[in-house]
C-alpha cells in the first residue's frame, strides 16, 4: 500500500486535522500509511482528493486532548494524534485511561507543555498603553507553541472592558470591547516601547523581594529566563539576587537596636479603646456600611430613651419604616402601639429596634412586598444589635417573633415552644410573637384570641420591667 | 501600633514605614491590573491608629474597587482579628478570600512574642468567619467565596513541627481552612533582640508543607506523622512520607496492581495524581515497572516499596542504609555560584 500525504497548516490547524481524520477514518487508512507534512499555507490536503466525510465520534476527553495538542509546536503532533484517534476508534475506547501507555504518555506530556505555555502567557503578557487619546493597550509576547487562539477566551474574560491587542511572532489578536479579530504575525517593535506605570511596578517588585528567601533556581522555574526580556520587572532581578546575601548578612550582623521613639502610651490605650461609645456613634457605623441587600432607602435605627428599661426587638423595617426612617410606624407598628397603650406602656419610654436595620422587599407593580431576612442576613446585623443592647443596658429584652429570637440567641427556635420568660446572654428576656403575626391571621375569632394573648404578654413584660428582677441585680453588659 | 516581635512593622521598630491612602491603593491596583502585572490584590497592613480604623481602610479599598471601578480581579484581605465583628462581616462582602493570621502555633509563643494577640480571640474570629462562609454558601450569597486561610511563622519560637501540624489539623477540622501557610521566619531589618537571627529555615518550611499535604490529600493522621518524626521534628533529609515509610517497613512492599488506593497513597514517591492514574490504568492492563516510571517522577524513592508484575524489591527494603541511599543530593549548592 502506498503512503498518503496529508498536508496541514503549520499552526494549531484543528479544522484541517478534523477534516483529515474524518476522511482517513472513512477510507480506513491506518496510521502507518500516512505521511503528515506541514506547510505555511496549504492549498489542499496533499495528493488525495479529500471529500467531506461523515464526522467521527470521539470521547469528549479525547476531543479535548486533541484541541490542546494541535497547538504544540512538535511537527509530529498530527501523526501522534492520528495514532491516538485510530486506536480509540478501533477497539481501544478507554485508551486515555491507560496513562502508562507510551503513546498516551507522550501526548499527555505534550498537553502539559501546551497548558504550561498558556499559563505562562496568562501570567507574563505585559500590556503597555498605546500613544493617543483613547485608552488602548498592546503587548508583545513570544509563546513556545501555537496558543494564540487558545488563549483568547482567557484574555477576553479578564479584560472585557478594555481595548487590547496581543502581538506575537505567530499572529496577533485584537479585542475592541465587542469583537475579537485575528491579524498577521508581528514584531516586537510593533508594540509600544514603554509605559508610565512600569517604574512603579518595578519599585513594587523590588520592595516585596525578600533577600533571605532568594532561590534563583525556583525563580527560574517559575519565570523562565526566556520571558525575561519582555517583562518590565525582570530588569531588577540580577541586582536583587547579587545583593541578596549582603543584605541578609547585614540584617543578621546588625545588633538589635533600642527603639528611638518612646512608646506612645496614650495612642496605644486609644487603640484598644475603639468601640463605639454612644448609640449615635454606633448608628453612624451602621449607616456607613449600607444595606446588605440593596434597595433600602435608609437604615432604620433603634428609637427611645438612652437607658430605657425595656428593649423591644422586631424583625426588620417595613415599607413605611423605610420611608420614614423610624421603627414600628407601619400597620404592625400601629397595632403594637395601640396594644402598649391599652396596657399602660408608654411608647416613648421604651426602646424599639429591629434585628435587621434595612428594609428588604420584592417589587410587585408599585408595591414593595416585605421579604423575610435570611438567617445569614440576621447574623450579619447581629453584632450591631448586641452593641446596641450593651449601650442601652435595659432591664428586659423582648424578642418579637422568630427573627428577633434568632438574632438574640443565634439559634432558630419556634416561638410557640419558647414563648414567655427567657435569658438572652446577660439580659433577662421575654419571648412573644411579632405584631405583624396578629395582622396575618385569617379569621376574626383567632385574631381576637391572639391579640388577647399578646396583651397578656405585654402585661407581664410591663410588670417584669417595673419590679426589679428577683436577684435585684442589674443586667451585666455583654462582652 | 501593635507589638509583635517578629514583625518589621511592630511599634518599637525603627524602620521607616510607608503609608498608602485608600485612593492610592485603588489607582495602583486598577492600573497594574489593566497591564496584567497582577491578577488581583492581596491587602495587608500594620495597625494604624486602631484595629477598626485599619480594617475600615482596607475595606474601603475593596469596596471602591468593586463598586466604583467594577474591578473583577481577585481580592484577598488580611483581616485584623481585633477589629469589630461587623467589619469582618462587611469585608466578606467584597473580598474573594479572607484570612486571619494565627502567626504562632501555641498560646505560649503568642504570649512571649506577640503579647497583645490572644489565641482565643483569633480563633473566635476564625469561627465567626467559618460560620458566615458556610451560611452564605447555603444562602447563595457572596461572602468570602474562596474561603479563609491562615499563616503561621516557623522558626521564630521553639514549637516543634508536630505541634505546628497539630495546630493545623485543628484549624482544618474546626474552621474548614482552605490552606494553612507556613512561613519560615526570616531576618527583618531592625530585629527584636528576642528573636533568632539566622537564615530562614526554608527546608523546614518545605517539609511542613509536604506534611500538610499528607494530612489533607493522603489520608494521614497528624499523630502518624508525629510518631515518625524525631522528637517532634520532621526529617530534613527525606520527605515526611518517606520518613514514615522507613519507620513502617513492615507494611511494604505494596503491589501496585492489587493494593487499595489508600495504601498506594502511602508509597513514597507516588503523588495523588500518579496514584489515580495507576488505579485507572490497572483496570485495563497490568503494570510493569516501566509503566510506573511513566506515571511518576519519584520512581527512585518508590522502588524499594513497591511490587509490579516484573519487579520485587526483595531485601532492598530491609537494608540498614536505605534512608541514606534515598537522600536526595541538594540540587543547589550555592545560591550565588
| C-alpha B110 chain-centroid distance | 19
Residues A452, A455, A459, CA angle at the centre, nearest 5°? Answer: 140
Mean pLDDT of A196-209: 91
Give the 3-state secondary structure of residue B127. helix
Q: Which helix (H) or strand (E) holds B261?
A: helix B261-264
pLDDT confidence of residue B13: 74
Residue A253, in any domain of the structure: no
- In this structure, the answer to whether residues A105 and A64 fall within a common structural domain is yes
Q: Where does the pLDDT of residue A437 fall: very low under 50, low under 70, confident under 90, or very high at 90 and above?
A: very high
Question: Is A262 a residue whose pLDDT tops 80?
Answer: no
Q: Are B11 and A264 in contact (CB under 8 A)?
A: yes
DSSP secondary structure, B157-178, as one string: S---HHHHHHHHHHHHHHH--S
Say what the pLDDT of residue B321 is. 87
Q: Is residue A477 part of a domain?
A: no
Residues A286, A381 share a domain: yes
Predicted local confidence at residue A354, as pLDDT = 97
Residues A326 and A436 in one domain: yes
Q: Are residues A32 and A98 in the same domain?
A: yes
The values of phi and psi at residue A178, to 5°, are -130, -45
% of chain A beyond a pLDDT of 70: 94
Same domain? For A328 and A460 the reply is yes
Query: What pLDDT does B336 receive?
Result: 41
Task: Say if residue A132 is in the same domain as residue A113.
Answer: no
* Confidence band of A1 (pLDDT split at 50, 70, 90): low
Q: What is the pTM of this model?
A: 0.86
Task: Assign B59 to helix, strand or coil.
Answer: helix
Distance from CA of B325 to the nearest CA of A (A): 24
- Does A139 map to a domain? yes
CB contact under 8 A, A245 and B281: no
DSSP A460-475: HHHHHHHSPPTT-PPP
Residue B1 pLDDT: 62
Among A99, A128, A245, the residue with its CB nearest the CB of B336 is: A245
Quick one: pLDDT at residue A477? Answer: 39
The DSSP call for residue B208 is H
- pLDDT, average across residues A90-98: 95
| Rounded average pLDDT over A272-292 | 89
∠ CA A147-A149-A153, nearest 5°, is 110
Task: Return d(Cα A108, Cα B277) in angstroms, integer.
Answer: 12
pLDDT above 70: residue A242: yes
A235 and A112 within one domain: no
How far off is chain A from B320, nearest CA to CA, in Å? 32
Say which residue, B234 or B328, is predicted with more confidence: B234
Asked if the Cβ–Cβ distance from B37 to A383 is below 8 Å, we say no
- Which residues does chain B have within 8 Å of residue A200's beta carbon, measured at their own beta carbons? 28
User: What's the pLDDT at B334?
Assistant: 44
Domain containing A446: what range? 279-466
pLDDT on residue A466: 81
CB-closest option in A100, A215, A379 to B132: A379
Q: Look at residue A471 in the predicted model and tell me its pLDDT.
A: 53
Give A474's pLDDT tier (boundaries 50, 70, 90).
very low
What is the reported pLDDT for B331?
54
State how far residue A266 is from chain B, nearest Cα, in angstroms. 11
Q: Do A251 and B47 touch (CB under 8 A)?
A: no
- CB neighbours of residue B67 within 10 Å: 11
Mean of pLDDT over chain A? 90
CA distance A137 to A7: 37
Q: Is residue A259 part of a domain?
A: no
Burial class of residue B260, CB neighbours in 10 A (0-12, 13-18, 19+)? exposed
- Given this model, what pLDDT does residue A43 score? 57
Q: Please answer yes or no on whether B32 and A139 come within 8 Å at the CB atom.
A: no
Q: Does a structural domain hold residue A66?
A: yes
**pLDDT at residue A201 tops 80:** yes
Query: Residue range B43-47: average pLDDT?
Result: 87
Q: Quick check: B141 and A197 CB within 8 A?
A: no
What are A345-385's pLDDT values in tens digits? 999 999 999 999 999 999 999 899 999 999 989 999 999 99
Q: Are residues A286 and A412 in the same domain?
A: yes
- The answer on pLDDT for B60 being more than 90 is yes
Instruction: Assess whether A369 and A291 both reside in one domain.
Output: yes
Among A87, A118, A149, give the residue marking a domain's end.
A118
Instruction: Provide the pLDDT for residue A468.
Output: 59
Least confident of A126-135, A212-221, A405-414, A464-473: A464-473
| pLDDT-based confidence at residue A45 (cuts at 50, 70, 90) | low
What was the pLDDT predicted at B139?
87
Q: What pLDDT sits at residue B316? A: 81
Confidence of residue B333 (pLDDT cuts 50, 70, 90): very low
Alpha-carbon distance B137 to nearest alpha carbon in chain A (angstroms): 10
| Spatial CA neighbour of B159 closest among B107, B223, B215, B227 | B107
To the nearest whole percent, how much of chain A has pLDDT over 90?
Answer: 72
Q: Which among A125, A257, A379 has the least Cβ separation from residue B135?
A: A379
Q: How far does the CA of residue B263 sit from the closest CA of chain A (Å)? A: 20
Q: Tell me: do A24 and A108 sit in the same domain.
A: yes
Q: State how many domains chain A has.
A: 4
Whether residues A110 and A133 share a domain: the answer is no
* B35:A127 CB<8 A: yes
Return the H-helix or E-strand segment holding A335. Answer: helix A331-343
| pLDDT band at B49; cut points 50, 70, 90 | confident
For the cut 80, the answer to whether the pLDDT of residue B197 exceeds it is no
Q: Cβ A201–B35 below 8 Å, yes or no?
A: yes
Confidence at A199, pLDDT banded by 50, 70, 90: very high
Quick check: is A307 in a domain? yes
Instruction: Please check whether residues A160 and A91 belong to one and the same domain.
Output: no
B319: pLDDT confidence band, cut at 50, 70 and 90?
confident
Residue A424 has pLDDT above 70, yes or no: yes
Q: With 60 as the cut, is the pLDDT of residue A44 above it?
A: no
A99 falls within a domain? yes
**Distance in Å, alpha carbon of B280 to nearest chain A alpha carbon:** 6
How do residues B230-252 score in pLDDT, each as one tens digit? 999 999 999 999 999 999 999 99
Ranges A34-48, A187-201, A356-370, B82-96: which has the least confidence: A34-48
* pLDDT tens, position by position, A109-131: 999 999 999 999 999 999 999 99
Range with the poorest average pLDDT among A95-109, A222-236, B10-24: B10-24
Average pLDDT for A385-397 = 96
The CATH code of the domain that includes A396 is 3.40.470.10
Per-residue pLDDT band for A40 (boundaries 50, 70, 90) equals confident
The pLDDT score that the predictor gives to residue A53 is 82
In a domain, A19, yes or no: yes
What is the ipTM for the molecules in this complex?
0.90
Give me the total of CB pairs closer than 8 Å, taking one residue from chain A and one from chain B. Answer: 157
Residue A478 has a pLDDT of 36
Residue closest to B96 by CA, chosen among B26, B38, B57, B145: B145
Mean pLDDT across B320-337? 68
Select the residue from A94, A141, A202, A212 to test the B interface by mutation, using most B Cβ atoms within 10 A: A212
**Sheet (strand A310-314) strand order:** A351-354, A310-314, A396-400, A427-432, A420-424
Tell me the three state secondary structure of residue A351: strand
Across the interface, of B34, B143, B190, the residue whose CB is closest to A137 is B34
Residue B268 has pLDDT above 90, yes or no: yes
Q: Is the pLDDT of residue B317 over 80?
A: yes
**What local confidence, expressed as pLDDT, does residue B192 receive?**
75
Q: Kindly state the helix (H) or strand (E) to which residue A167 belongs, with its residue range.
A: strand A163-168
Q: How many Å apart are CA B137 and CA B145, to the nearest integer?
A: 8
Per-residue model confidence as pLDDT tens digits over A296-337: 999 999 999 999 999 999 999 999 999 999 999 999 999 999
Counting other chains too, the contacts that A444-452 makes at CB distance below 8 Å and 24 or more residues apart are A451/A339
Looking at residue A245, what is its pLDDT? Answer: 85
- Choose the weakest-confidence range: A35-44, A217-226, A454-463: A35-44
Position A194 pLDDT exceeds 50: yes
Amino acid at each position: 500500500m502506498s503512503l498518503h500525504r496529508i498536508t496541514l497548516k503549520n499552526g494549531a490547524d484543528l479544522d484541517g486535522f478534523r477534516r483529515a481524520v474524518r476522511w482517513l477514518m472513512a477510507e480506513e487508512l491506518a496510521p502507518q500509511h500516512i505521511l503528515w507534512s506541514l506547510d505555511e499555507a496549504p492549498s489542499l490536503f496533499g495528493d488525495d482528493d479529500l471529500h467531506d466525510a461523515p464526522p467521527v465520534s470521539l470521547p469528549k476527553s479525547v476531543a479535548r486532548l486533541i484541541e490542546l495538542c494541535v497547538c504544540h509546536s512538535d511537527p509530529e503532533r498530527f501523526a501522534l494524534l492520528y495514532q491516538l484517534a485510530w486506536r480509540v476508534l478501533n477497539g481501544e475506547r478507554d485508551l486515555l485511561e491507560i496513562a502508562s501507555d507510551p503513546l498516551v504518555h507522550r501526548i499527555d506530556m505534550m498537553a502539559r507543555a501546551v497548558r504550561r505555555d498558556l499559563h505562562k502567557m496568562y501570567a507574563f503578557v505585559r500590556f503597555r498603553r498605546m500613544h493617543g487619546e483613547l485608552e488602548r493597550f498592546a503587548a508583545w509576547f513570544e509563546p513556545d507553541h501555537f496558543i494564540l487562539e487558545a488563549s483568547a477566551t482567557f484574555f477576553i474574560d479578564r479584560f472585557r472592558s478594555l481595548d487590547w491587542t496581543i502581538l506575537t511572532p505567530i499572529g496577533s489578536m485584537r479585542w475592541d470591547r465587542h469583537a475579537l479579530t485575528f491579524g498577521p504575525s508581528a514584531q516586537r517593535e510593533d508594540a509600544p516601547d514603554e509605559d508610565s506605570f512600569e517604574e512603579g511596578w518595578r519599585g513594587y517588585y523590588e520592595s516585596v523581594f525578600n533577600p533571605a528567601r532568594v532561590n534563583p533556581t525556583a525563580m527560574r522555574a517559575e519565570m523562565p529566563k526566556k520571558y525575561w526580556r519582555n517583562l518590565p520587572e525582570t530588569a531588577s532581578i540580577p541586582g536583587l539576587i547579587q545583593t541578596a546575601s549582603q543584605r541578609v548578612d547585614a540584617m543578621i550582623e546588625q545588633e538589635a537596636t533600642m527603639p528611638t521613639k518612646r512608646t506612645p502610651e496614650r495612642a496605644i490605650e486609644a487603640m484598644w479603646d475603639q468601640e463605639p461609645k454612644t448609640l449615635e456613634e454606633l448608628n453612624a457605623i451602621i449607616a456607613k456600611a449600607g444595606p446588605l441587600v440593596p434597595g433600602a432607602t435608609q437604615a432604620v435605627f433603634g428609637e427611645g430613651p438612652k437607658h430605657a428599661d425595656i428593649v423591644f426587638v422586631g424583625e426588620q423595617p417595613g415599607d413605611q419604616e423605610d420611608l420614614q426612617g423610624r421603627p414600628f410606624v407601619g400597620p404592625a407598628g400601629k397595632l403594637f402601639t395601640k396594644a402598649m397603650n391599652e396596657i399602660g406602656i408608654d411608647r416613648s419610654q421604651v426602646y424599639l429596634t429591629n434585628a435587621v436595620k434595612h428594609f428588604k422587599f420584592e417589587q410587585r407593580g408599585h408595591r414593595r412586598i416585605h421579604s423575610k431576612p435570611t438567617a445569614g442576613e440576621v447574623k450579619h446585623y447581629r453584632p450591631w444589635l448586641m452593641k446596641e443592647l450593651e449601650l442601652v443596658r435595659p432591664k428586659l429584652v423582648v424578642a418579637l417573633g422568630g427573627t428577633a429570637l434568632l438574632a438574640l440567641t443565634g439559634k432558630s427556635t419556634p416561638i410557640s415552644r419558647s414563648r414567655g420568660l427567657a435569658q438572652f446572654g446577660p439580659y433577662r428576656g421575654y419571648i412573644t410573637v411579632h405584631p405583624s403575626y396578629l395582622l396575618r391571621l385569617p379569621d376574626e375569632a383567632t385574631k381576637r384570641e391572639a391579640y388577647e394573648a399578646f396583651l397578656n404578654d405585654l402585661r407581664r413584660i410591663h410588670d417584669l420591667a417595673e419590679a426589679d428582677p428577683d436577684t435585684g441585680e442589674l443586667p451585666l453588659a455583654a462582652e | 501600633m501593635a507589638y509583635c516581635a517578629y514583625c518589621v512593622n511592630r511599634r518599637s521598630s525603627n524602620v521607616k514605614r510607608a503609608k498608602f491612602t485608600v485612593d492610592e491603593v485603588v489607582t495602583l491596583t486598577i492600573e497594574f491590573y489593566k497591564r496584567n502585572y497582577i491578577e488581583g490584590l492581596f491587602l495587608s497592613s500594620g495597625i494604624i491608629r486602631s484595629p477598626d480604623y485599619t480594617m475600615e481602610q482596607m475595606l474601603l479599598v475593596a469596596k471602591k474597587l468593586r463598586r466604583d471601578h467594577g474591578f473583577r480581579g481577585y481580592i484577598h484581605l488580611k483581616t485584623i482579628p481585633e477589629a469589630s465583628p461587623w467589619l469582618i462581616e462587611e469585608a466578606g462582602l467584597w473580598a474573594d478570600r479572607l484570612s486571619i493570621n494565627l502567626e504562632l502555633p501555641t498560646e505560649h509563643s503568642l504570649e512571649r512574642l506577640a503579647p497583645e494577640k490572644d489565641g482565643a480571640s483569633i480563633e473566635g474570629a476564625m469561627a465567626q468567619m467559618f460560620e458566615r462562609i458556610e451560611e452564605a454558601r447555603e444562602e447563595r450569597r457572596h461572602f468570602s467565596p474562596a474561603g479563609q486561610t491562615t499563616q503561621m511563622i516557623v522558626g521564630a519560637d521553639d514549637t516543634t513541627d508536630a505541634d505546628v501540624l497539630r495546630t493545623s489539623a485543628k484549624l482544618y477540622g474546626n474552621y474548614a481552612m482552605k490552606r494553612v501557610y507556613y512561613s519560615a521566619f526570616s531576618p527583618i531589618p531592625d530585629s527584636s533582640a528576642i528573636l533568632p537571627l539566622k537564615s530562614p529555615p526554608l527546608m523546614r518550611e518545605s517539609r511542613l508543607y509536604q506534611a500538610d499535604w499528607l494530612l489533607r490529600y493522603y489520608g494521614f493522621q497528624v499523630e502518624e506523622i508525629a510518631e515518625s518524626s524525631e522528637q517532634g521534628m520532621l526529617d530534613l533529609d527525606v520527605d515526611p512520607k518517606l520518613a514514615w515509610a522507613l519507620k513502617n517497613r513492615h507494611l511494604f512492599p505494596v503491589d501496585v496492581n492489587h493494593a487499595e488506593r489508600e495504601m498506594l497513597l502511602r508509597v513514597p514517591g507516588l503523588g495523588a495524581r500518579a496514584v489515580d492514574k495507576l488505579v485507572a490504568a490497572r483496570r485495563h492492563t497490568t503494570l510493569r515497572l516501566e509503566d510506573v516510571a511513566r506515571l511518576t517522577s519519584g520512581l527512585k524513592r518508590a522502588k524499594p516499596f513497591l511490587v509490579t508484575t516484573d519487579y520485587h524489591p526483595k531485601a532492598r527494603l530491609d537494608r540498614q542504609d536505605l534512608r541514606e541511599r534515598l537522600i536526595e543530593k541538594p540540587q543547589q549548592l550555592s545560591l550565588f555560584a
